[in-house]
């Protein structure tokens, strides 16, 4: 659209279904590349991406040419299908329903990127669930405990 100028930076967090540790070090970089391709092919810019065995963070320069929910649905469904087709796991891979999305100003890009890049170090001190709840509380997002990314019961 002519005369449309935006600067939107969003960090999204998605979890593996039941927070199972299915993202393996042997193929996580391929997953990051695959998701980066989805982001780029939809006109957005990947700023940072990293994953732990049970969840993934991505930080994007978001363009308002599609809804965030459509982009996240596409990322989750396309990457799940790709992971299963490539047979990276013996179990069927699925992402948990829902996602977290948090917006940042330009001045926060460096810090958020470094935070995402250092996930392994960060999670030596804090679990994914503790991290996710701290995001919700920091951003003052009301949430229902029963809908927080669930583990296998």
Q: Is the pLDDT of residue 153 over 70?
A: no
Domain presence at residue 62: yes
Domain presence at residue 2: no
Q: Is the pLDDT of residue 22 over 90?
A: yes
Q: How many C-beta neighbours within 10 Å does residue 123 have?
A: 16
Residue ranges making up the domain that contains 93: 8-147
Domain presence at residue 153: no
What is the side-by-side strand order in the sheet with 8-15?
45-52, 55-62, 8-15, 100-104
d(CA 73, CA 83) in angstroms, rounded, equals: 15
The predicted-structure confidence for 78-125, as pLDDT tens digits, reads as follows 999 999 999 999 999 999 999 999 999 999 999 999 999 998 887 788
Domain presence at residue 94: yes
Task: Look at the alpha carbons of 111, 117, 122, 123 in this order and tell me if their dihedral is positive or negative.
Answer: positive
Counting the structural domains of the chain, the total is 1
Domain presence at residue 3: no
Domain presence at residue 152: no
Tell me, what CATH number does 59's domain have? Answer: 3.30.70.1290
Residue linked to tokens 């540790």 = 21
Helix (H, G, I), strand (E, B) or coil at 9: strand
Domain presence at residue 38: yes
């Amino acid at each position: 659209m002519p005369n449309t100028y935006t600067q939107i930076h969003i960090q999204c967090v998605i979890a593996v279904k039941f927070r199972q540790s299915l993202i393996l070090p042997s193929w996580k970089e391929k997953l990051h590349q695959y998701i980066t391709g989805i982001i780029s092919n939809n006109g957005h810019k990947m700023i940072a991406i990293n994953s732990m065995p049970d969840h993934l963070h991505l930080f994007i320069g978001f363009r308002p040419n599609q809804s965030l929910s459509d982009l996240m649905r596409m990322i989750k469904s396309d990457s799940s299908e790709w992971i299963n087709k490539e047979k990276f796991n013996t179990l069927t891979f699925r992402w948990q329903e829902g996602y977290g999305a948090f917006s940042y100003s330009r001045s926060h890009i460096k810090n958020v990127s470094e935070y995402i890049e250092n996930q392994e170090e960060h999670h030596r001190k804090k679990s994914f669930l503790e991290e996710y709840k701290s995001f919700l509380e920091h951003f003052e997002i009301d949430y229902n405990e029963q809908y927080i990314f669930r583990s296998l019961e």
